[in-house]
Chain A
Amino acid sequence: MLTYSAVLAEGSNAALVTFTIYTLAVFGLAALSNQLLKSKSFLSEYFLGSRSLGVWAFALTFAATSSSGGSFTGFPSKIYTHGWILALWIGSYMVVPICTMGMLGKRLNQVARLSGSITVPDVLRDRFNSQRFGLMAVVLIVFFMSFNLVAQFKAGALILKVLLKDVDLFHSVSASAGQWTAGIDFLGNDPGYLVCLLFFGVAVIVYTTYGGFHAVVWTDVMQGIVMVIGVLILLPLALNAAGGLENATKELAKMTPPRRGLATVHIDEPMSQPLQVTRETWLRMQRDEAGSERVFRVAQPFSIDADVRDVHAVELLEITTPAEVSRIIAGDVPAEFDARLAVSEFQGSDENFGVVTVDTTAGSIPAVFHRGDVVVVDTKDGKRSFVVAVDTPVEAGGKIALTVTEPTTVPAAGTTIEATATKLSIKSVSYKYGADKPGVYVTGPGPSPNNDVGFLAFSIAVSFFFMWAISGAGQPSNMVRLMAFKDSKTLKRSIFTVAVYYTAIYLPLVFIFVCARVIMPGMEAEPDRIMPEIAVYLTNNVGAAWLGGLLIAAPFAAVMSTVDSFLLMISSAMVRDIYQRNMNPEAEEKTMKYLSYLCTMLVGSIAMVVAINPPDFLQDIIVYVGSGLAACFLAPVVFMLYWPRATETGCIAGMMSGFGAHFGMYLTGMFVNGSFFRPFQLFNFNPIIVGLFVSFLVTYLATRASAPPPEELVRKYFYRKTDKTNS
């Protein structure tokens, strides 16, 4: 019988084969798409697919672009971590297709045809005959999308790295890359990430540059089909493995969240060689006096030197539900214990832990920080007391990183040392909401490791109903697709198709990953891997490793389809909106063609290079960009489409105020919550609600206060000659 690690390795090799086939198919589609470019108006075809998308192409490109890699990594990981409450979190997807496609689709498509626009800034510019409005839209799109592009490149590379981590070929290529890049600081110190970024980046840049919009759309269609087939196959396998949904829900009702902490791991027989302990490893603690058994999963990989008997400050995750512990020990779930190792001590009951970096040049610092010493440090929140977890000698220099625990009560024992903190990275041991509370995974607001009101408070649930359905309509990447469908019939059938598609994807995903909690405990150590691990595990159970590979390819394909659309949006903004509309309106088609290729390739390459050393907070940037774009674009676009009285002044004011209000919430968060990416939540609502409210209000008021728009524009976009006049 295969061990669990061997099963994963086999599944990952299947994934590699699937990736190869998938990538070849993508290049094939790009080549076909390039043929279309030769027979049609280049710019319209390259950036908008000649407004000819049929039902399947339009529906699936819309669905795939909207559901980025998050749908297949972040969402499953959230269901796993917080339980059934994710059904409410994703609930507004019941109306996302009709809202995001139906509210603006038909009218936006018509106005784009009337004006001959092929980009979103194009429409804004032509609708008001305003060069400055068009340029402002370009600046905002390039600003937001560039950050997002870098973030998505990083996300793509990370997903690929996670998925290939058990593939031998990947390790040997990474090792070679590590040798070649040794000593080049710019290329970072993670050759595996570099290899994945290069593979992912080059693939996306080449097929997007060569094939343009149609290549992107056809890739989306292929990916959309992979996603839905994957989910529909996984559903019965997961239900079967969990003993049915009823059983899974009852098991979840027993569960209490796991506990993180620092442990000392004891080795009975010291190793002759150093040993690497991975996250897949499970450990036991000897039975306590009450006779109860405790099991742990490694939360951070660690190494054990030769001839060592005890390793301190090892980060572990303790399973706290007795029924789960029994199933793990009985071998009913995939868990591999390392019998050579045992947990001898675990500090995880009422303490936080982590790393505190102290300044050794200030105050009276000892030569060695001993385990058990109490360090009182000055932080911006005041003085905090920590207990040193590992003996740490002080070397000459300015700073030293100490592994510490932070007890809830001030410790009395040990030497007390006053110090100044330069950096704190302290993690919560217990969940702030839901610890030791059975039933928390089947009720609201759901368990949360870092929020004491739970995962989804009522006001946040309302915010999400706005966020997905309403702000989704305000995304320029969605708007450009609404300009590309063929006719009204196509739009109507596509909305219906996407509605069925989302119903078939999102609710089953909740069922599958609720079951995954029961099938595969302890994944909180690495929740983003739950999708590939459960896919491989379940498909191997039925002897279909190739299917696991196909399912593993889904998140990779999903992030690819998001990146390629962003890439084209930035490139179109530069080529069409800046060069052709403002610098050289008479540019020949041949010039535009080569410029489009060059620009797409350059933008992609620059984003890839920046992603080698991306800034921190990338996931937060993705959230900021998504909501920021909606706050800027939704109100002006709604007013320009549906209100003949709308003016350039009103819409520009609405766009800027939406940007300002949304940005203001983030800026206030920097002062109130200590970080730009922990935005201030006015009345507990997400900044997107504030941004949209201000933007709509200001657009209306500023329009009312400004002179009416030119009559010829109103006639062109809102009126038509009567039949009597025509005759």
Chain B
Amino acid sequence: MSSQPAPDREGYELDPVFVNSRREALAILLVWFVCMLWAVPVSYMLGYGRDVTPENVSTVMGIPTWTFWGILIPWLAADVATTWLCFVFIKDDDLGQAEDELPANEAVADGGNA
């Protein structure tokens, strides 16, 4: 591993699109993880290895109880989380313009960002 002096970045700041996107990606990863921790263990505990007969099958609105609490409810919760992420948490960042989007005389060498 090499150790080099920290580069001089005076006059520069971290791109807010990068910072916001990274923060949002971590939040999304957390939502995925929570959904997995909810759906798989709950479905397993309520729905696996059970001796079920027509007389004792447990349902909520016609759906097996394990599917209701392990899939349907977290699915709706995930939809709520997605809605919140989309309309509250994720920022409206300016993504810039590529050269192919600009008229020829406006195209800039650095992609118009810096």
A interface residues with partner B (beta carbon < 8 Å): 41, 43-44, 50-51, 84-85, 87-88, 91-92, 94-95, 97-99, 102-104, 106-107, 109-110, 112-116, 118, 244-251, 253-254, 438-439, 442-445, 458, 461-462, 465, 469-470, 487-489, 491-493, 495-496, 499-500, 503, 507, 641-642, 704-705, 707-708, 711, 714-722, 724-725
Cα distance A194–B26 in the bound complex, in angstroms = 49
A487 touches B114 (CB 8 A): no
Q: Which residues of A contact B106 (CB under 8 A)?
A: none
**4 smallest A-B Cβ distances: which pairs?**
A245-B62, A439-B52, A246-B62, A107-B21
Q: Return 25 A-B CB contacts under 8 Å, by A number.
A: A44-B100, A51-B100, A84-B64, A87-B43, A88-B40, A91-B71, A98-B81, A104-B25, A106-B17, A107-B25, A113-B98, A114-B96, A115-B111, A249-B62, A249-B63, A253-B52, A439-B51, A439-B53, A439-B57, A442-B57, A443-B49, A465-B32, A492-B87, A495-B82, A715-B114
B52 touches A245 (CB 8 A): no
Q: A106-B17, A110-B17 are in contact. Are A488 and B93 (CB under 8 A)?
A: yes
Q: A98-B82, A461-B40, A496-B86 are in contact. Are A719 and B12 (CB under 8 A)?
A: yes
A488 touches B91 (CB 8 A): yes
Interface residue ranges of B48-75 to A (CB < 8 Å): 48-54, 57, 59, 61-64, 66-67, 70-72, 74-75
Q: Which residues of A contact B4 (CB under 8 A)?
A: 707-708
Task: A91-B39, A250-B59, A445-B48 are known; give 17 further A-B pairs, CB within 8 A.
Answer: A94-B75, A95-B82, A114-B111, A116-B98, A253-B57, A254-B53, A438-B52, A443-B66, A461-B43, A492-B92, A496-B82, A496-B87, A503-B76, A642-B25, A716-B110, A719-B14, A721-B114
Closest to B43 in A: A88
Closest to B20 in A: A106
Q: Which residues of A contact B96 (CB under 8 A)?
A: 110, 113-114
B17 to chain A: closest CB distance in Å?
5
A444 touches B43 (CB 8 A): yes
Q: How many contacting A-B pairs (Cβ < 8 A)?
A: 249
With most chain A CB atoms within 10 A of its CB, the pick from B31, B86, B111 is B86
Cα distance A247–B75 in the bound complex, in angstroms = 24
Cα distance A461–B37 in the bound complex, in angstroms = 12
Cα distance A110–B22 in the bound complex, in angstroms = 13
Q: Which residues of A contact B51 (CB under 8 A)?
A: 439
A213 to chain B: closest CB distance in Å?
13
Q: A95-B35, A641-B21, A720-B13 are in contact. Are A439 and B59 (CB under 8 A)?
A: no
Cα distance A253–B2 in the bound complex, in angstroms = 64
Cα distance A236–B93 in the bound complex, in angstroms = 42
Q: Which residues of B contact A722 (CB under 8 A)?
A: 11-13
A102 touches B25 (CB 8 A): yes
B12 touches A721 (CB 8 A): yes
With most chain B CB atoms within 10 A of its CB, the pick from A88, A439, A487, A717 is A88
Cα distance A496–B87 in the bound complex, in angstroms = 9
A95 touches B31 (CB 8 A): yes
A417 to chain B: closest CB distance in Å?
44
Cα distance A245–B11 in the bound complex, in angstroms = 64
Cα distance A708–B62 in the bound complex, in angstroms = 59
B84 to chain A: closest CB distance in Å?
10
Cα distance A48–B12 in the bound complex, in angstroms = 31
Please classify the interface of chain A as helix (H, G, I), strand (E, B), loop, or mixed, using the class held by over half of its residues.
helix
One digit per residue, 1 when the CB lies within 8 angstroms of any chain A CB and 0 when it does not, for chain B 26-52 equals 001101100110011001100111111
A720 touches B12 (CB 8 A): yes
Cα distance A493–B87 in the bound complex, in angstroms = 8
With most chain A CB atoms within 10 A of its CB, the pick from B44, B81, B98, B111 is B98
Q: A499-B82, A705-B1 are in contact. Are A246 and B92 (CB under 8 A)?
A: no
B50 to chain A: closest CB distance in Å?
5
Q: A115-B111, A443-B64, A487-B95 are in contact. Are A715 and B25 (CB under 8 A)?
A: no
B113 touches A116 (CB 8 A): no
B18 touches A718 (CB 8 A): yes
Q: Which residues of A contact B2 (CB under 8 A)?
A: 707-708
B113 touches A114 (CB 8 A): yes
A99 touches B100 (CB 8 A): no
Cα distance A95–B29 in the bound complex, in angstroms = 10
Cα distance A278–B25 in the bound complex, in angstroms = 53
Cα distance A710–B111 in the bound complex, in angstroms = 18
Q: Of A88, A438, A642, A715, which contacts B53 at CB under 8 A?
A: A438
Q: A88-B43, A94-B78 are in contact. Are A113 and B111 (CB under 8 A)?
A: yes
Q: Which residues of B contact A245 (CB under 8 A)?
A: 61-63
With most chain A CB atoms within 10 A of its CB, the pick from B9, B11, B36, B70 is B36
B101 touches A99 (CB 8 A): no
Cα distance A47–B87 in the bound complex, in angstroms = 30
B70 touches A88 (CB 8 A): yes
Cα distance A493–B96 in the bound complex, in angstroms = 19
Q: Which residues of B contact A717 (CB under 8 A)?
A: 15, 18
Q: Of A443, A492, A711, which contacts B86 at CB under 8 A?
A: A492
A502 to chain B: closest CB distance in Å?
9
A106 touches B95 (CB 8 A): yes
Q: A496-B86, A496-B87 are in contact. Are A465 and B40 (CB under 8 A)?
A: yes
Q: Which residues of A contact B16 (CB under 8 A)?
A: 720
Q: Which residues of A contact B114 (CB under 8 A)?
A: 715-716, 719-721
A102 touches B75 (CB 8 A): no
Closest to A117 in B: B98
B39 touches A725 (CB 8 A): no
Interface residue ranges of B79-105 to A (CB < 8 Å): 79, 81-83, 85-87, 90-101
Cα distance A705–B92 in the bound complex, in angstroms = 36
Cα distance A91–B11 in the bound complex, in angstroms = 48
Cα distance A442–B32 in the bound complex, in angstroms = 26
B39 touches A719 (CB 8 A): no
Cα distance A721–B110 in the bound complex, in angstroms = 12
B93 to chain A: closest CB distance in Å?
5
A471 to chain B: closest CB distance in Å?
12
B92 to chain A: closest CB distance in Å?
5
Q: A95-B35, A443-B48 are in contact. Are A102 and B101 (CB under 8 A)?
A: no
Cα distance A88–B47 in the bound complex, in angstroms = 10
A81 to chain B: closest CB distance in Å?
17
Q: A254-B54, A439-B52 are in contact. Are A98 and B39 (CB under 8 A)?
A: no
A246 touches B98 (CB 8 A): no
Q: Which residues of A contact B35 (CB under 8 A)?
A: 92, 94-95, 465
B25 touches A113 (CB 8 A): no
Q: Which residues of B contact A246 (CB under 8 A)?
A: 59, 61-62
A441 to chain B: closest CB distance in Å?
9
A715 touches B12 (CB 8 A): yes
Q: Of A98, A113, A118, A249, which contacts B57 at CB under 8 A?
A: A249
Q: A249-B59, A488-B95 are in contact. Are A704 and B1 (CB under 8 A)?
A: yes
A444 touches B47 (CB 8 A): yes
Cα distance A194–B87 in the bound complex, in angstroms = 49
